[in-house]
Amino acid sequence: MAGWAEGEAMRRLLVLRNPSAGGAGDEAHDVVMAVLKEHADVVEVTAGDPRDLAGLLGEHPGRDPVAVGGDGTLHGVVAALSARGELKTRTVGLVPLGTGNDMARALGIPLEPSQAARVVTGGVERRMDLLYDDQGGIVVNAVHLGVGVAAGQAATALKPVLRRFAYAAGGLAAGVRARGWRVRVEVDGRVLADGRRRVLMVGVGNGTSIGGGTPLTPGARPDDGLADVMVSFSTGPVRRLVYGVLLRLGRHGRQDTVVFARGSRIQISGPASEVNADGEITGPVSGRTWTVTPAAWRITVPSPVPPPG
């Protein structure tokens, strides 16, 4: 990791604000901007449409982008940098003002706005893996299908009222109705699900959690060159309920109907279904392959705390 040495030239930042991110309001944003401007040369732009991000980055060359929003905002910034071929030349900052903020949780970036802004200007650089799918799309944090997608769809309507708790409510509603999906899952050629047995959920994690802190792949590390894959076969009524409770606690691996694997190439195929990548639902698709690219991009994270003594 590389830090920002005291006395070096003030960093030039491009703050990309997503006004639709369902988290903190204008007051928190004003606090963030005050902290950033105190320690950096800052230009702020509003990016309501992810399709605008590449153009905005092009209008402000030489500035490191700061994603102010949730996982979807971070996904959009990284995707735009990838499209411009600038993943290795511009370091991303993150101020998590979204609803779930799962990548911030995985990296130890504070959820308190002013503290997160101080990390952007005074943290250290960390190189991060990135998942690319066979259609050119990316995954920064996690991608999943099955009951998790249904839960996300149910949670969307509840976000304005329940905020991050909308995910738990959506998961409960989806879990009651889910019967399972017949999908085939392969990890580096190893078959985890053969498509004959119904699965409740498949998750591929670069980060550890989804839905505002639900630890889908609790052992994942976003910089080890591998993705963690989870497959749940917990399709019976009682097993679904137990799975939902254990998933929220990060203990779903205790079920004998849940399997984990790690690898760099993940293939999923079966009847057309929707997938949730970094909180954005796409599809339906009948097959997709994700490949891990190690150390593909850079983000600023908190400086490590030295051990006592």
Catalytic residues: 280
Phi, psi angles (nearest 5°) of residue 286: -100, -5
Kindly state the tokens that stand for 30: 């004003």
How far apart are the C-alpha atoms of 89 and 86, rounded to whole Å? 5
Bridge partners for 128 per DSSP = 297
The SS3 of residue 142 is strand
Bridge partners for 292 per DSSP = 131
Kindly state the tokens that stand for 198: 């119904």
Quick check: 93 and 117 in contact, CB under 8 A? no
What letter does residue 250 receive in the DSSP assignment? T
Q: Which one, of 300, 250, 294, lies nearest residue 107 by Cα?
A: 300
